[in-house]
A = this chain, B = another copy of it.
Amino acid sequence: MKDNYYIGVDIGGTNTKYGLVNEKGEIIFSGSFNTKSYSNPKDLVNDIYTEYINKSNEQHIKASGIGIGAPNGNFYSGCIEFAPNLNWGENIPIANIFCDKFQLPVILTNDANAAAIGEKFFGAAKEMNDFVVLTIGTGLGSGIFANGNIIHGKNGLAGELGHTIIKESNRKCSCGRIGCLETYVSSRGILQTYKEECASNGREFISEEMTTKEIYNLALNGDKIAIQTYKITGEALGHSLANLILILDPEAIFLFGGIANAHPILIPTIRETINDNVLLLFKDKVKILPSALLNKNAAILGSTALFNLKVIRR
């Protein structure tokens, strides 16, 4: 039986990566481009095409389609809509640009959905029909599976958990509103919490260049302010997840993205907060786990798996 291959593309504000992936989720070859160096998405797609054609000719492999994961990528329109970290305009018809150049079918979704689809087909959710993947990095995204399928919603905008309003926050969000969950649960949010905890504990905040990884290392070494910082983060997330669990009754919630590497310290707090805030019936029902694709390229893998989904196309 002939294997099927798909191209997965992960468009990010800094780097754009692509890979040729087989049906087992193995990356046959891949490449990376500096997104910021392209003033026009067509030039980027041309360069990916040139490299892809050379490599695929060498290996005598042809792809059957292209899956793209991108911030604010809309499954229905095939456009990247109002992405704050891309300077290519408000509506980028990225699916059409790839389709025109490669002459292959193209499916687009947002990066959090791609991660969730990756978890379903190549990660720890293979046997699950109802689960959520959180992508915690610069911002907070979520990809939701119910009844074995990704939820895109009516307009392709589902999963904006990061912008739900929480009672804990009076912080201004990058979206312009006050009190979004991602003002606490994101790299930016964690840094701000650490800064505030330093101030209220009489510690001088060292540098604006500090990273969440450094704070995590401090916490691992027993630093109380750093531990408290991750506790506050886990509690804010746990409160929101308790409500999400009551609505969706998922089997598991997976943590993905840079911040998810702090799962050994985050997950116990998240679990405890969830158990303190759900109905008795839901206690200890939902698994809180690190993604099985953590630090792998879930967006490349997941976007190729878009072709495996029985999705409703509208």
Could you tell me which A residues sit within 8 Å of B by CB distance? 81-82, 128-130, 142, 144, 146-149, 151-161, 163-165, 167, 175-177, 239, 242-244, 246-251, 277, 279-282, 285-286, 311-312, 314
Contacts and interface: CB of A to CB of B under 8 A. Distances in A.
13 contacts: A82-B281, A146-B147, A147-B151, A148-B312, A153-B250, A155-B249, A155-B281, A157-B249, A158-B247, A158-B248, A158-B249, A160-B282, A244-B247
Contacts of A248: 144, 151, 153, 158
User: Chain A interface mostly helix, strand, loop or mixed?
Assistant: loop
A286 B281 CA distance: 31
A83 to B, nearest CB: 12
Given A247-B158, A312-B129, A153 B146 contact: yes
B251 A161 contact: no
A129 B281 CA distance: 29
Contact of A156 (B81, B129, B249, B277): B249
B146 A279 contact: no
A215 B176 CA distance: 38
